[in-house]
Amino acid sequence: MSPRLRHPRGDGGQLLAEAPVVFALVLLVLLLCLQGVIWATTALLARHAAFEGARTAATSPLDVADAARAVLPAGWAASGVTEAGGSVTVDVVGPVLVPGLTDVLTVTASAPVVAEPR
């Protein structure tokens, strides 16, 4: 009589061990991609706010900072608006999904103040 062959346990339970790690990595990559889209939107909004501030500086005596902040939607904030040397510079901070990236995700944009005839 031949001895009974036993199969080693092998990969039993491997899915149970790897699934949480894979899920966490997929979630992290998804959050980073979404944060990249938010950063790109922040860059566009910062440029728009800078041009709005420059237009206001060239055409009216209104406050440039208020004009630049007025065009930003909820969730985005202008942390600084400066007018110097014929240009308006705006620092915009967007929503942060990944904690700790606030300083990295601040976008600075500037626009020249072009004097328009009145």
pLDDT in the model for residue 115: 78
- Between CA 72 and CA 92 the distance in angstroms is 9
Q: Which residues contact 88 (CB under 8 A, 6 or more apart)?
A: 50, 53, 54, 57, 64, 68, 81, 82, 110, 111, 113
Per-residue pLDDT tens for 55-110?
999 888 789 999 999 999 998 999 999 998 889 999 999 888 877 766 678 899 99
Q: Domain map of the chain by residue range?
A: 16-112
pLDDT in the model for residue 105: 81
Burial class of residue 49 in the structure, from the number of CB atoms within 10 Å of its CB (0-12 exposed, 13-18 middle, 19+ buried): buried
Q: Which residue has the higher pLDDT, 1 or 84?
A: 84
SS3 2: coil
Is 80 exceeded by the pLDDT of residue 6?
Answer: no
- Between CA 39 and CA 91 the distance in angstroms is 13
pLDDT in the model for residue 10: 64
Predicted confidence band of residue 12 (pLDDT cuts 50, 70, 90): low
Backbone dihedral region for residue 10 (phi beyond 0: left; psi -120 to 50: alpha; all else: beta): left
pLDDT in the model for residue 99: 77
- Between CA 114 and CA 35 the distance in angstroms is 34
Indicate the pTM of the whole model: 0.78
pLDDT in the model for residue 89: 96
Q: Which residue has the higher pLDDT, 5 or 49?
A: 49
Q: Does residue 68 contact residue 52 with C-beta atoms inside 8 Å? A: yes
What is the 8-class DSSP label of residue 91?
A: E
Per-residue pLDDT tens for 16-50?
778 899 999 999 899 889 989 999 999 999 999 99
